[in-house]
Structure 1
Amino acid sequence: MTPPPLGRPRNKDGPAFDPALDDTELAAVRDALARGRWTEARRLLAETGEDWDRRGHRLVVLAEGAASSAWAREWQLAEPDSPDAAALLACATVCRAVRGQEIPEVARAACLTAARMAPADPTPWLGILILARRTGTDDERVRAFDQVRARHRDHHHAHHLMAACLAEHQTGDRDDPLHEVYDFASWAAEQAPADSPLAVLPVVAHAERYRVLARAGVEPHDPARSGHWATRRARQVMKAAFDWWLEWDVDDGTAHPRRKVDLNYLAHAKLHEGRPAEAAALLTRIGPHATQAPWSYPDQDARKAFRAARRAALGSA
Structure 2
Amino acid sequence: MSPPPPPFGRSRKRASQAFDAALDDAELIDVRAALAQGRWQAVRALLARTGDEWDRRGHRVTVLAAEPYSEAWARDWLVAEPDSADAAVLLALALVQRVRRGKGKPAAAREACRTAARLAPADPTPWLGLLLLERDLGAADEVADVFGEIRQRYADHHHAHHLMVARLAERRAETGPDPLHEVYDFANWAAEQAPADSPLAILPVIAHAERYRALAAAGHEPHDPAASAHWTGRRARQVMKAAFDWWLEWEQEGHPRRLVDLNFLAHAKVCEGRGAEAAALFHRIGERPTPAPWSYPDREPYSAFRTAREHALGTV
> Is the TM-score greater than 0.5?
yes
Match for residue 225 of structure 1 among 224, 227, 234: 227
Greater relative contact order structure (CA < 8 Å, 6+ sep): 2
Match for residue 85 of structure 2 among 61, 71, 83: 83
Amino acid at match of 1:125: W
Q: Equivalent residue of 1:81, what SS?
A: coil
- How far apart are residue 122 of structure 1 and its match? 0.3
Within a 5 Å distance, the mapping from 1:139-218 to structure 2 comes to 139-218=141-220
Amino acid at match of 2:156: D
Compared with structure 1, are the counterparts of its residues 14 and 164 closer, same or farther at alpha carbon in structure 2 (3 Å cutoff)? farther
Where has structure 1 moved over 4 Å in runs of 4 or more? 9-12
What whole-Å deviation, never above 9, does each CA across 1:239-273 have from its counterpart, x for those lacking one?
1232244347xxxxxxxxxxxxxxxxxxxxxxxxx
8 Å Cα contact 2:47-2:86 kept in structure 1 = yes
Match for residue 124 of structure 1 among 107, 123, 126: 126
Distance (Å, rounded) in 2 between the aligned partners of 1:52 and 1:158: 11
Compared with structure 1, are the counterparts of its residues 113 and 139 closer, same or farther at alpha carbon in structure 2 (3 Å cutoff)? same
Distance (Å, rounded) in 1 between the aligned partners of 2:157 and 2:16: 30
- How far apart are residue 171 of structure 1 and its match? 4.6
Task: Give the paired residue count.
Answer: 241
Compared with structure 1, are the counterparts of its residues 197 and 137 closer, same or farther at alpha carbon in structure 2 (3 Å cutoff)? same
Amino acid at match of 1:155: H
Query: Structure 2 length as normaliser, TM-score?
Result: 0.73
Range with bigger deviation, 26-35 or 112-121: 26-35
Query: In the alignment, is residue 16 of structure 1 matched against residue 22 of structure 2?
Result: no
- How far apart are residue 172 of structure 1 and its match? 3.4
RMSD over aligned Cα, in angstroms? 1.9
Amino acid at match of 2:86: D
Match for residue 48 of structure 1 among 35, 47, 50: 50
Residue 32 (structure 1) aligns with? 34
Residue 97 (structure 2) aligns with? 95
Identity across the alignment (%): 66
Give structure 2 stretches of 5+ with no counterpart: 1-7, 251-316
Amino acid at match of 2:140: D
Residue 246 (structure 1) aligns with? 248
8 Å Cα contact 2:174-2:218 kept in structure 1 = no
Distance (Å, rounded) in 1 between the aligned partners of 2:15 and 2:224: 16
Distance (Å, rounded) in 1 between the aligned partners of 2:20 and 2:29: 9
Distance (Å, rounded) in 2 between the aligned partners of 1:28 and 1:244: 32
Distance (Å, rounded) in 1 between the aligned partners of 2:214 and 2:31: 34
Flag the structure with larger Rg.
1
Q: Equivalent residue of 1:187, what SS?
A: helix
- How far apart are residue 168 of structure 1 and its match? 1.3
- How far apart are residue 173 of structure 1 and its match? 3.6
8 Å Cα contact 2:173-2:214 kept in structure 1 = no
- How far apart are residue 15 of structure 1 and its match? 4.1
Distance (Å, rounded) in 1 between the aligned partners of 2:14 and 2:186: 32
Query: Structure 1 length as normaliser, TM-score?
Result: 0.73
Distance (Å, rounded) in 2 between the aligned partners of 1:199 and 1:246: 12
What whole-Å deviation, never above 9, does each CA across 1:211-256 have from its counterpart, x for those lacking one?
11122222122211211101121111111232244347xxxxxxxx
Distance (Å, rounded) in 1 between the aligned partners of 2:123 and 2:14: 36
Compared with structure 1, are the counterparts of its residues 169 and 82 closer, same or farther at alpha carbon in structure 2 (3 Å cutoff)? same
Distance (Å, rounded) in 1 between the aligned partners of 2:185 and 2:16: 33
Residue 312 (structure 2) aligns with? none
Range with bigger deviation, 168-177 or 16-25: 168-177
Distance (Å, rounded) in 2 between the aligned partners of 1:108 and 1:12: 39
Distance (Å, rounded) in 1 between the aligned partners of 2:138 and 2:113: 14
Give structure 1 stretches of 5+ with no counterpart: 1-6, 249-317
